[in-house]
Chains A and B, each alone.
Chain A
Amino acid sequence: MRNSQTSGLDQHGRAGVAMLGAMQKFASSHVRNAARRAYEGTPEAQATLTAPEGADRLRIMAWVQQSRAIAERQPLYRIERFMQAYVAQSIYEFGIPAVEARRAQFTAEPDAFVDDRIELDPDLVLPDYHDCDWHLRPGGWDGYDLYGPHGVHVVKPIFALGGFAAAPVGANIGQHRLDVVAQLPRRDYARIYEPGCGNGSTLIAIHRRFPGAELVASDLSAEQLRAARRLTGTLSIPVTLRQRDAATDTGEADATFDAVVTFALHHELPHAANVALLKEMFRILKPGGDIILSDPPPFRAVDAFHAVLLDWDTDNRAEPFFSEAGASDWGAEMERIGFVDVTARPLGPDSYPWVTIARKPGDGG
């Protein structure tokens, strides 16, 4: 199933965005496949195709770095990565003017209800790691007031045509979200929490799967929360949106949620913040409550060439914690926190998305 697209850009913007998607598609399929063949054709790569068994984070990273050194000697790998970098930069270099050209249209959309239905926290102290031009986004999440429509009319179509980062060509991110929430073991959750909700896309999937559940979501970014409000408001999905640092204090009471869902969040946090976030989710879950994490696959679950591609994002696509997350084992961390019945598995091609499911012990009924 393809993502359906209706561009709100003018012809120049629509066609340019589509070509960026076509470049991404060709680079991530034909060029990447040829680069992989060249890589795997070297004797040194043959000796290190899979992660060392039972390795810790340091040994995993040593394996990835060794594999990267082999890959970087391959011309086709360099061409493929050049195209990835070019498209990632052009999403903003080309995309921001394309959205700006339609400012009047995008700012005319009804959003009078936006701010007064979000609990913004003017006293919130943003963690240092939040100060980053995420994904090469100038100014970070709140750096441009039209990043909401930019996400819909620039990022989404490029993603739909060519995949992006960990998501392969043909990946349907909307379907991924539905597939992820469908892994939760029950259908009768009364209250569900999503930390790091971003623009609210996962909330749509949660609501579709659990239409009777009360949804509460948080994010550090006020601009992303506004985008989430517009999206969920347009679709008449009731949700409480709060500006919170979910890795320190959600502000929610102990044991008040039946389930927690995260989507593409953990690679955006340093390891210590991830552990703190998981502890906070443990605290707000009711006994017997379920949690599902969804993120790119850990390095240990993919082959060397794939691990090199994932690791590349850390230094080249403004994903400062991508490798830290890739070398981690969230299931093991959750067991240390006290979660039980931990399982982890891939849901789609290239092991994406990768889900980890666990439960807080006890009988919450």
Chain B
Amino acid sequence: MSNTYLGPDNIDDLGRMVTALLTELWITRDRVAVLERMLEDKGMLLPGEANDYIPDAGFEAELETLRDRMAGNVIGAPLAARERSVDQILARAGMKRPDSMDRTA
């Protein structure tokens, strides 16, 4: 028995599994952020509150930044092997150097 079960035509399946894990990982990360925010705001949690929590616009913007970073780190992994300038790396992270900076530095 070779203990080999997957073939080349399972590459897409592996991609789907990795991407599904990204969704589940973010759901947990979002939950942690929600719990932290609720504890900061009220110092306590009631049953079901975290489940029904709707972020306000400011908190949602913070979550979006975190989420985009996570998505970029995972989905952008193939780009990291191909486009490796500092500005490209920063752009994938949703960041950039100040305009005044010397790009040759």
- Write the residues of chain A forming the contact surface with B, with a CB cutoff of 8 angstroms: 5-7, 10-12, 14-16, 18-20, 22-23, 25-27, 30-31, 34, 75-76, 79, 82-83, 86, 90, 94, 161
Contact = CB atoms under 8 A, between A and B. Distances in A.
Interface in B46-88: 50-54, 60, 63-64, 67-68, 70-72, 75-76, 78-79, 82-83
A15 B71 contact: no
B7 interface: no
A22 B79 contact: no
Contacts of B27: 11-12, 15-16, 19
B51 A23 contact: no
Interface SS majority for chain B = helix
Interface of B: 12, 15-16, 19-20, 22-24, 26-27, 30-31, 34, 50-54, 60, 63-64, 67-68, 70-72, 75-76, 78-79, 82-83, 91-92
A83 B26 contact: no
A140 to B, nearest CB: 24
Contacts of B19: 23, 83, 86
Contact of A22 (B31, B53, B64, B82): B64
B79 A31 contact: yes
A86 B71 CA distance: 14
Nearest to B31: A11
Interface SS majority for chain A = helix
Contact of B63 (A18, A23, A26, A86): A18
A90 B27 CA distance: 15
B76 to A, nearest CB: 6
A191 to B, nearest CB: 39
Contact of A76 (B34, B50, B82): B82
Contacts of B50: 11
Contacts of A6: 54
Given A16-B23, A30-B79, A82 B71 contact: no
A23 B67 CA distance: 9
Given A20-B23, A30-B92, 8 more contacts: A7-B54, A10-B52, A16-B23, A16-B26, A19-B26, A22-B71, A27-B75, A82-B12
